Chains A and B, each alone.
Chain A
């Protein structure tokens, strides 16, 4: 005891050392996390550019100009500052289309996750909380959904109904709930046996109240991680659908659609497909980095 006290006293200013709060630990972890910082910055820039598109876009993204068609970007020979990223096959300014395209991609990611997250979390919490037959049934639903070739069915349904932005969002939303359900289900199962749940039950909480006030706040970080992954997934799928011509319809400046329209000219004007492709890659990569980062910061034990 004496020795311990002696050692403790030897540290100057011992009395002032206070335990950092969980919030502080998390903040310092986040600031040291390279992936999260880079991903967050890139995502933030894309978000701002997309929101400011009507102000900063140099031209209207829909105005065609046949005399200006297939202008190369500024770094190519013959490029001019008038069209920094060049123009497409009907003379629309490529930079403006790219900026407005960011709006579409971000909207797809956000709206899809809203739908799929709602379905997946409801099913996952129900399965994890009630267990037994409910769990068995929801597990069966998950197995069935996993066995459906998703891309194929999404293509078929969008084509049959007719491609448009709301249709694509709805179809993707009803398709991508499965990972939410799986993860939230196992998270809820772990929480269900915690002491604070027993305490809440002893205090007479109803199931609904328990789910809303005790379980949902505790599965929030898992939700955020899956939400980022699925948003990125949705953005890639929309691009693929639009690329195949069975998604968002022209003249909307969806990045996938821009690649589709540019592919006939790709041997002569490779920038027509490389520019939207790189934009898509950066957006998806930054969202994934943010998701991985959030997981590392909030639950480092799940890292591997």
Chain B
């Protein structure tokens, strides 16, 4: 177990390093940051001055090295647009996004797992079809459009919720519904598949033959084993949800990292963009790492492989 954990952690670090190199390179090569920063009326001298000031005149590997050594010490640079240290911005905004992510995950699990179990209990019946149709429809719905529709519903027709902002819990209701719905289909499908596989095994037949109550068989014997693959996908989904939060937070003006990402992209704030991409990548690596370790702990077959 320890060796497995260490190996997995090392891989995570390596991946994080590669992603940071790729992101840095891609963002710096996509445009000339000095020209963008200088604005439209800038002369050639101004641009040259900015290049020297911000270090854009040095070769890219050198720039990356400087950025990395500073980043490892917690200094992610200063935001061009906001004029404050990027790390401070991230610290301010992260709690909102984490709240949104965790609540959405709970919301998704609360509906997706029971629906998946229900569908697996009666496979290929109308109940199963309804659940699958719901999953397919939820998958096809553009999340930004769903968000706008919720605004029309809850702010115009039934004025119950505030349109935008992030001050009270009411502000989180609609974003949580949107992000949660986005994550639901994958979790539901996997719960259903896992349950179907487990329900066909010998030990479930034994448990039933012993005369255990159907409920005990279903919840204690079947579900416990069926959720193992679900945990892995929840780890991945959690990462996707954070990435997708840029759209949802922009619609609802929820003041989190996603909105920060949008603002930094709109205003060409390179330092901020890099930091957000790196942060989300680290969060993704951490959640998948946690899911893998949890999986290995639950299912010894995985560690040995």
B266: shortest Cβ distance to chain A, in Å?
A: 7
CA distance A152 to B262 in the complex (A): 8
B161: shortest Cβ distance to chain A, in Å?
A: 14
Q: Which residues of B contact A149 (CB under 8 A)?
A: 239, 242-243, 277, 280-281, 284
CA distance A159 to B142 in the complex (A): 21
Interface residue from B15, B262, B266 paired with A144 (Cβ < 8 Å): B15
Interface residues on B, range: 35 or more
CA distance A232 to B141 in the complex (A): 11
Q: Does chain B have a CB within 8 A of A236?
A: yes
Q: Which residues of B contact A192 (CB under 8 A)?
A: none
Interface residue from A35, A148, A232 paired with B140 (Cβ < 8 Å): A232
- Whether A277 pairs with B142 at a CB distance below 8 angstroms is yes
A163: shortest Cβ distance to chain B, in Å?
A: 11
CA distance A246 to B266 in the complex (A): 8
B130-156: which residues lie under 8 A (CB-CB) from chain A?
136-137, 139-145, 148-149, 151-152, 156
CA distance A149 to B26 in the complex (A): 13
Interface residues on A, range: 35 or more
Interface residue from A143, A152, A236, A267 paired with B243 (Cβ < 8 Å): A152
Q: Does chain A have a CB within 8 A of B246?
A: yes
CA distance A152 to B193 in the complex (A): 31
Q: Does chain B have a CB within 8 A of A156?
A: yes
Which of B16-24, B45-53, B172-180, B208-216 touches A?
B16-24
CA distance A214 to B262 in the complex (A): 47
Q: Which residues of B contact A267 (CB under 8 A)?
A: 152, 156
A19: shortest Cβ distance to chain B, in Å?
A: 26
- Whether B26 pairs with A157 at a CB distance below 8 angstroms is yes
Q: Which residues of A contact B266 (CB under 8 A)?
A: 159, 245-246
Given A150-B243, A156-B27, A157-B26, does the pair A281, B149 have CB atoms closer than 8 Å? no
Given A157-B30, A244-B262, does the pair A152, B247 have CB atoms closer than 8 Å? no
- Whether A151 pairs with B148 at a CB distance below 8 angstroms is no
Given A156-B265, A240-B247, does the pair A281, B141 have CB atoms closer than 8 Å? yes
Q: Does chain B have a CB within 8 A of A69?
A: no
- Whether A148 pairs with B281 at a CB distance below 8 angstroms is yes
Q: Does chain A have a CB within 8 A of B261?
A: yes
CA distance A153 to B276 in the complex (A): 10
Interface residue from A143, A159, A288 paired with B136 (Cβ < 8 Å): A288
B110: shortest Cβ distance to chain A, in Å?
A: 23
Q: Does chain A have a CB within 8 A of B196?
A: yes
Q: Which residues of B contact A280 (CB under 8 A)?
A: 142, 145
- Whether A147 pairs with B285 at a CB distance below 8 angstroms is yes
A172: shortest Cβ distance to chain B, in Å?
A: 14
- Whether B140 pairs with A284 at a CB distance below 8 angstroms is yes
B201: shortest Cβ distance to chain A, in Å?
A: 14
- Whether B277 pairs with A273 at a CB distance below 8 angstroms is no
Q: Does chain A have a CB within 8 A of B31?
A: yes
Q: Does chain B have a CB within 8 A of A49?
A: no
- Whether B149 pairs with A153 at a CB distance below 8 angstroms is no
Q: Which residues of A contact B23 (CB under 8 A)?
A: 148, 153
B20: shortest Cβ distance to chain A, in Å?
A: 10
> Which residue of B is nearest A233, CB measured?
B139
CA distance A263 to B253 in the complex (A): 14
B296: shortest Cβ distance to chain A, in Å?
A: 17
Interface residue from A144, A155, A245, A259 paired with B19 (Cβ < 8 Å): A144
Q: Which residues of A contact B268 (CB under 8 A)?
A: 159-160
A127: shortest Cβ distance to chain B, in Å?
A: 17
The 8 A CB mask of A213-252 against B (1 = contact, 0 = none) is 0000000000000000000100010011001111000000
Q: Does chain B have a CB within 8 A of A270?
A: yes
The 8 A CB mask of B293-305 against A (1 = contact, 0 = none) is 0000000000000
The 8 A CB mask of B243-270 against A (1 = contact, 0 = none) is 1101100100000000001100110100
A263-299: which residues lie under 8 A (CB-CB) from chain B?
263, 266-267, 270, 273-274, 277, 280-281, 284-285, 288-289, 292
> Which residue of A is nearest B145, CB measured?
A277
- Whether A152 pairs with B246 at a CB distance below 8 angstroms is yes
A interface residues (Cβ-Cβ under 8 A, vs B)? 35, 140, 143-144, 146-153, 155-157, 159-161, 232, 236, 239-240, 243-246, 256, 259, 263, 266-267, 270, 273-274, 277, 280-281, 284-285, 288-289, 292, 304
Contacts A/B (CB < 8 Å), 24 sampled: A147-B281, A149-B243, A149-B277, A149-B280, A152-B277, A152-B280, A153-B23, A160-B27, A160-B268, A161-B30, A236-B142, A240-B144, A243-B144, A243-B145, A244-B262, A259-B145, A259-B148, A270-B156, A281-B137, A281-B140, A281-B145, A284-B140, A288-B140, A292-B136
Q: Which 10 A-B pairs have the closest CB atoms?
A: A160-B30, A285-B140, A149-B243, A277-B145, A149-B280, A284-B140, A160-B31, A304-B193, A144-B18, A243-B144
